[in-house]
Structure formats: structure tokens, C-alpha cells
């Protein structure tokens, strides 16, 4: 098991992590979900022994990243958010280099990367810097896996990647669980949270909730409404000015809104919006998802 307890880190006056606490079970696909600047990369760098915490502890199967950093680096595979392989080396040269660093070979652990590497193997003589975003992603994952790590840490691996490659990548992660690899992945995409076994929602260095995706959604108790009509900016301002609204957030082509007390004041809101010049108002009940729950928790934390 991986245990993170009361982890804190400051950079000057900015508190990047504030008493972060959660555990990851062996063989789990665990997501750390939050926007840019939430503290995900700082958290991962401490776990990977690349950064020292100010307070708190990390235990990776009994190993301490501060004391046992050499041992931890042998059992962890890391894929940073920014492509960081050698762009002047070919696909094959990059992979062989990382295999040699861990005193293994492509052939020894090929079964582990086969499904991933076969998709880029036709381009094995191409310099890594000339690969597409999706192929760079697959090469970076192959290099992170080539020594058969016990823990795989992925920092926003699908940022800037097309929707098809994102879907393929998460299918690959599900298959990797079958090899007994524990996976921790950070992402700003709320829709990817539902693909994890459990997730930790993080904002401004603080953990808002840790649970399964379904448990997090079930924590949203208020009635939720979708509101559309007219100019979106005008509609947003008018809804926030209405005295009966508790929360109002843009959500695709409509607003997601809750009323004070978690009840239903949609009729009063509709009348109010018409006095503000919003015509053809459409208000409907909607089912919350993880993003709605995240926004609700974030609002409560700010209060």
C-alpha cells in the first residue's frame, strides 16, 4: 500500500500542498483530479523522491522517498506531463537506453509493452522529436514501463492529446492493471475520473474528497438544474444576481445551478430572468456528475 500522511509543501508564500492525506491500495488505478495549479505535480515529485516535503510522510510499501530514494526509483515508472525523452534519438534508441538504465532489455519485458509499442514500432527508426502527440505519449509510457515497475506514476498523460488517443490510453491503463501494476494518474479532466477505481479531488493543495467515482457523485445531495436561454454571459450574471441561487457555474451550453436550501425555486428564477430581459428561458432538472460535486466541494472549501 502507498500511504501519504499530512503532506505539506510551501514555495515562498504559496502553499502548494496543505496536509494532504490519502492511501492507494496495491493494484489500484487511482486518480488525482484537479485543475492546473492544484498541487498534483508537487505531490508526485515528493512521492518520486524528486522533492523534499516540509511536513508529513510518504510510505511506498514501507519505503520512505527521503531515506530510501534509491530503492524507490528502481520500482517506480514515471511519465511526466511534458514530453521529456531524447528527441534526437530514435524511438528504438530511447527505449533501449531506458531499458539499459534499469539493467534490463526490451526483449525481457516486451510482453508488458507489446500492445503499446506495436502501435509505434513501424516508426522505430524515426527521431522521437518528429513523432505526433499520440505516438510521443505511447513511447513515453513504454519507456516508463520497460523495467516492469511496481508503481506507475503518470502526471497529466493525456493533456494536449486528441480524444481518440485519450480513449486508447485509458484502455491501455486498464490492461496494465492485469499485470499487477499499481497506477497513480493525475488529470485535470473530470470525465477521466470515472475511469479510475478511486479518486482524490484536489484544489489549491488541499484534498476535497477521496472515494470511488460513484460515491463522490452520490455525495451531491442538492437538486441540480440546467439553465439555458439567450446570451450565456448575460444569463450567468442574472442567475448569480438572483437572491435564491446557492451556486451557478457554466457547464457546456448551459448553466448548472442549485438553489438555497437545496430545493426548487425554478419558477421564481424564470420570472426573475424575464425581468432581466432573458427570453426563452429553459430550466430542467439534471443529474450531477463528478464535476458538479467538485465545484460544490470547492465552493464549500472557499467559504
CATH number at residue 78: 3.40.50.300
Spatial contact of 185 and 40, defined as CB atoms under 8 Å apart = no
The answer on pLDDT for 38 being more than 90 is: yes
Q: State pTM to two decimals.
A: 0.90
Binned at pLDDT 50, 70 and 90, residue 133 comes out as confident
User: pLDDT for 82-105, tens place per residue?
Assistant: 888 999 999 999 999 999 999 999
Question: Does the structure show a pLDDT above 90 at 115?
Answer: no
Residues 204 and 229 in one domain: no
Do 194 and 178 share a structural domain? yes
**Percentage, residues of the chain above pLDDT 90:** 75
Is the pLDDT assigned to residue 168 strictly greater than 90?
no
Residue 272 sits in a domain of what CATH number? 3.30.70
Q: Which residues of 81-113 are buried (b: 16+ CB within 10 A; e: fewer)?
A: bebebeeeebbbbbbbebbeeeeeebeebeebb
121 and 269 housed in the same domain: no
The pLDDT, as a whole number, for residue 302 is 66
Q: How many percent of the chain have pLDDT more than 70?
A: 99
Give residue 249's domain range: 225-287
Tell me what the mean pLDDT of segment 142-156 comes to. Answer: 94
Q: Please indicate, yes or no, whether residues 99 and 155 belong to a single structural domain of this protein.
A: yes
pLDDT recorded at residue 155: 94
| Longest CA–CA separation in the chain, Å | 72
Q: Can you tell me the distance from the alpha carbon of 101 to that of 105, in angstroms, rounded to the nearest whole number? A: 10
Q: Are residues 131 and 260 in the same domain?
A: no
Give pLDDT, residue 230.
Answer: 83
User: Averaged over 271-286, what is the pLDDT?
Assistant: 91
Does 71 reside within a domain? yes
Average of pLDDT values for 59-83?
A: 93
Is residue 273 very low, low, confident or very high in pLDDT (cuts 50, 70, 90)? very high
Q: What is the pLDDT of residue 24?
A: 97
Q: What is the pLDDT of residue 298?
A: 87
81 inside domain: yes
- Structural domain count of the chain: 2
- Report pLDDT for 89: 96
Residue 179 placed within a domain = yes
Comparing 216 with 165, the larger pLDDT belongs to 216
Predicted confidence (pLDDT) at residue 274 exceeds the cutoff of 80:
yes
At residue 167 the predicted structure's pLDDT band, cuts being 50, 70 and 90, is: confident
Give yes or no: residues 122 and 10 share one domain: yes
Q: Collect all residues with Cβ–Cβ distance below 8 Å to 82 and sequence separation of at least 6.
A: none
Mean per-residue pLDDT for 229-257?
Answer: 92
Last residue of a domain, one of 166, 200, 217: 217
Residue 260 domain flag: yes
Instruction: Tell me the average pLDDT across 212-219.
Output: 95
Average pLDDT of the chain to the nearest whole number: 92
In this model, does residue 299 exceed pLDDT 90?
no
Give the pLDDT score at 160: 77
Amino acid at each position: 500500500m502507498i500511504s501519504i500522511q499530512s503532506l505539506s509543501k510551501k514555495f515562498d508564500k504559496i502553499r502548494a500542498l496543505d496536509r494532504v492525506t490519502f492511501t492507494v491500495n496495491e493494484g489500484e488505478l487511482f486518480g488525482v483530479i484537479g485543475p492546473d495549479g492544484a498541487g498534483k505535480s508537487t505531490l508526485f515529485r515528493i512521492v518520486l523522491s524528486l522533492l523534499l516535503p516540509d511536513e508529513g510522510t510518504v510510505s511506498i510499501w514501507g519505503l520512505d522517498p527521503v531515506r530510501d530514494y534509491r530503492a524507490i526509483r528502481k520500482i517506480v515508472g514515471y511519465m511526466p506531463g511534458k514530453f521529456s525523452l531524447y528527441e534526437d534519438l530514435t524511438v528504438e534508441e530511447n527505449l533501449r537506453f531506458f531499458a539499459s538504465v534499469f539493467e534490463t532489455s526490451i526483449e525481457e519485458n516486451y510482453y508488458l509493452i507489446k500492445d503499446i509499442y506495436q502501435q509505434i514500432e513501424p516508426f522505430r527508426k524515426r527521431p522521437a522529436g518528429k513523432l505526433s502527440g499520440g505516438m510521443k505519449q505511447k513511447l513515453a509510457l513504454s519507456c516508463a514501463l520497460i523495467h516492469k515497475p511496481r508503481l506507475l506514476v503518470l502526471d497529466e498523460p493525456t493533456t494536449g492529446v486528441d480524444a481518440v488517443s485519450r480513449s486508447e490510453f485509458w484502455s491501455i491503463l486498464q490492461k496494465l492493471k492485469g499485470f499487477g501494476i499499481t497506477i497513480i494518474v493525475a488529470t485535470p479532466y473530470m470525465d477521466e475520473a470515472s475511469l479510475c477505481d478511486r479518486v482524490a479531488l484536489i484544489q489549491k493543495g488541499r484534498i476535497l474528497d477521496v472515494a470511488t467515482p460513484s460515491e463522490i457523485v452520490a455525495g451531491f445531495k442538492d437538486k441540480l438544474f440546467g439553465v439555458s436561454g439567450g446570451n450565456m454571459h448575460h444569463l450567468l450574471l442574472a442567475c448569480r444576481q438572483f437572491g435564491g441561487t446557492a451556486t451557478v457555474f457554466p457547464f457546456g451550453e448551459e448553466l448548472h445551478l442549485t438553489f438555497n436550501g437545496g430545493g426548487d425555486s425554478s419558477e421564481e428564477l424564470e420570472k426573475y430572468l424575464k425581468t432581466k430581459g432573458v427570453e426563452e428561458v429553459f430550466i430542467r432538472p439534471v443529474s450531477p456528475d463528478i464535476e458538479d460535486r467538485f465545484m460544490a466541494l470547492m465552493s464549500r472549501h472557499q467559504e
